[in-house]
């Protein structure tokens, strides 16, 4: 399978100057990590020195790209644990005017896929420098939310090698985006529920966190095709998108193709030519299942806790209430369902052959938990969600 390439990284990350400072909760240690010729990022360490080198380590990926020189605060429910924060870069191109001298200047593009390289560089530094002594193991757990959860989930899914002493064993994510193509008009979640239906599902509500992420897409990605990269849309590790990448973030692919066909006609084209160009059927590719993890890989799907806010509800003609269109629940439910199916078909398959009492469905739901944590304020996870995470982490750290 394709793994995040390490070829561009130096063989050994050089030792760098560290600056220590105190906060109310923890002693922090900020380490600068070079990214080849593309600048550098920082990894902030909390409570790491005071803990055993074999104690489970939390990796916190902020929900959005931190401002240069800032140190994001760590969520309160992570304070008891040693935590490494990877301060990645992911933002719109620099809009500042060129240098007055007219000389061309190079700046690292911070749109996708720059965040992949930053996160991997930080992760590589962590696994090389925070390893336990001798042959001891160290379990890593990743937490993030919103846009950051896209990369956190991909990191957890592709760095969970069960044979390695230091590797990802668990993922916790809240209100994550696991399939960015859901924002596109062609995605089935944005179409009527039935072939004869006319009413389109509601779009993300203006002012909501999901709406904000939709508005930021053009800043975070260079082109719509980037949304189909499985390292930013980890649900696509398990299945194809069933869509063709459109030419814009807001235009359906069928409209794009129709306009392309019309523009290809010569000025002397007949009416029949025009009808033939616009009336031919547009066929989208079928959605197909993919095998993940690959059979010959050493990957093992990590224990996962996927939390989401309660979705807005709509009332149908019959008075029933149902979730409306694209929501954080839809994002989490899709990934949870795909991971559970993978467990049942791949990892649990051999056990089912000799253990008649093994309940694969129940075990898959235990391994990949999906939890509605009610309503929360934008990037602030409420007490209910924090308690769920605390209990989940305690169960694993104390076992």
- Give tens-digit pLDDT for 140-199: 999 999 999 999 999 999 999 999 999 999 999 999 999 999 999 998 898 876 666 667
Which parts of the chain sit beneath pLDDT 50? 2, 4-24
pTM value?
0.86
Distance in angstroms (rounded) separating the CA atoms of residues 150 and 41: 19
Distance in angstroms (rounded) separating the CA atoms of residues 266 and 35: 50
Query: What is the pLDDT at residue 202?
Result: 79
- Half-sphere exposure (CA, 13 Å, Cβ side) for 153? 33
What is the DSSP code string of 259-299?
HHHHHHS-TT--HHHHHHHHHSPP-PPPP-B--SS-TTS-B
Q: Which residues, listed in sequence order, are joined to residue 19 by a DSSP beta bridge?
A: 30
Longest dimension (CA), the chain: 79
Domains and CATH numbers, the chain: 18-93+106-243+294-397 (3.40.50.1820), 245-283 (no CATH)
Distance in angstroms (rounded) separating the CA atoms of residues 388 and 324: 25
Report how far Cα 257 is from the mean position of its chain's Cα atoms: 30
Distance in angstroms (rounded) separating the CA atoms of residues 254 and 102: 43
CB 277 within 8 A of CB 370: no
Query: What is the pLDDT at residue 255?
Result: 54
- Give tens-digit pLDDT for 227-266: 999 999 999 999 999 999 999 998 765 555 555 555 555 5
DSSP character for 24? Answer: S
* Collapsed DSSP state (helix, strand, coil) of residue 14: coil
CB 321 within 8 A of CB 175: no
End-to-end CA distance of the chain: 32
Report how far Cα 136 is from the mean position of its chain's Cα atoms: 30
Burial class (CB in 10 A: 0-12, 13-18, 19+), 320: exposed
Query: What is the pLDDT at residue 133?
Result: 86
Query: What is the pLDDT at residue 28?
Result: 74
User: H helices within the chain, ranges in order?
Assistant: 114-129, 146-158, 209-220, 253-264, 271-279, 328-342, 349-354, 360-367, 383-397
Stated as kind and residue range, the H or E segment containing 172 is strand 166-174
């Amino acid at each position: 399978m394709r793994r995040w390439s390490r070829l561009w990284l130096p063989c050994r990350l050089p030792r760098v100057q560290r600056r220590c400072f105190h906060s109310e909760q923890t002693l922090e240690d900020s380490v600068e990590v070079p990214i080849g010729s593309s600048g550098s990022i920082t990894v902030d360490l909390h409570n790491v020195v005071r803990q055993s080198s074999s104690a489970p380590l939390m990796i916190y990926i902020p929900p959005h790209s931190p401002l240069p020189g800032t140190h994001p605060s760590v969520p309160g429910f992570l304070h008891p644990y040693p935590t490494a924060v990877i301060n990645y870069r992911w933002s719109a191109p620099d809009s500042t005017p060129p240098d007055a001298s007219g000389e061309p200047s190079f700046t690292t593009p911070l749109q996708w896929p720059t965040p992949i390289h930053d996160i991997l560089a930080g992760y590589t530094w962590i696994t090389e420098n925070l390893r336990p002594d001798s042959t001891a193991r160290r379990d890593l757990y990743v937490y993030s939310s919103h846009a950051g959860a896209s990369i956190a989930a991909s990191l957890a899914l592709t760095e969970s090698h069960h044979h390695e002493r230091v590797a990802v064993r668990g993922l916790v994510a809240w209100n994550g985006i696991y399939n960015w193509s859901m924002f596109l008009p062609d995605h089935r979640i944005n179409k009527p529920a039935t072939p004869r239906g006319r009413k389109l599902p509601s779009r993300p509500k203006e002012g909501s966190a999901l709406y904000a992420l939709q508005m930021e897409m053009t800043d975070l990605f260079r082109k719509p095709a980037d949304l189909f990269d499985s390292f930013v849309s980890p649900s696509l590790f398990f299945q194809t998108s069933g869509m063709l990448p459109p030419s814009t973030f807001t235009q359906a692919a069928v409209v794009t193709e129709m306009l392309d066909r019309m523009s290809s006609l010569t000025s002397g084209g007949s009416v029949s030519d025009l009808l033939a160009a616009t009336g031919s059927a547009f066929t989208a590719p079928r959605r197909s299942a993919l095998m993940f993890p690959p059979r010959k890989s050493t990957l093992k799907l990590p224990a996962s806790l996927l939390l989401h806010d309660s979705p807005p509800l709509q009332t149908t003609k019959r008075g029933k209430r149902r979730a409306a269109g694209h929501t954080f629940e839809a994002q989490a439910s899709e990934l949870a369902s795909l991971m559970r199916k993978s467990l049942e078909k791949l990892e649990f398959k051999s056990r089912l052959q000799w253990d008649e009492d093994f309940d694969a469905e129940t075990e898959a739901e235990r391994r990949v938990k999906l939890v509605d944590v009610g309503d929360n304020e934008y990037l602030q996870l409420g007490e209910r969600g924090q308690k769920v995470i605390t209990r989940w982490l305690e169960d694993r750290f104390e076992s």
